[in-house]
Amino acid sequence: MLITGDFNVGHTTRDIKNWKGNRNSAGFLEVERAWFDRWFDELGWVDIARSIAGDIDGPYTWWSFRGQAFDRDVGWRIDYQVATPELAERATASHVDRAPSYAERWSDHAPLVVDFRI
């Protein structure tokens, strides 16, 4: 099974560029992040993008339209593809289809793309 979408929560400090300034902001509240801990740690679901990317900052999928967040890559990783372990084993690649420039973006989000082997 695969669940995808904009979950509006950055799970860890790796998922938000400015996590220190957002500790009390919706989308990075401790209770929200604990909900993700339950999904991944207790229930065994797999965050595919994180499992492929490893322990790095991002890759971000959302940037505010304010300031120069997009140009400076000051984003949040809030779009997910979450899978059962059996399906996650079939994931071969993951990337964010980020627009080449601010002027060419059509949303404040960029699609998270995952490739699976059949």
Q: Annotated active-site positions, please?
A: 6
Q: Which tokens is 91 given?
A: 């994931």
Task: Give one DSSP letter per residue of 26-71, joined into a string.
Answer: TTS-HHHHHHHHIIIIIS--EEHHHHHH-SSS----B--SSTTTTT
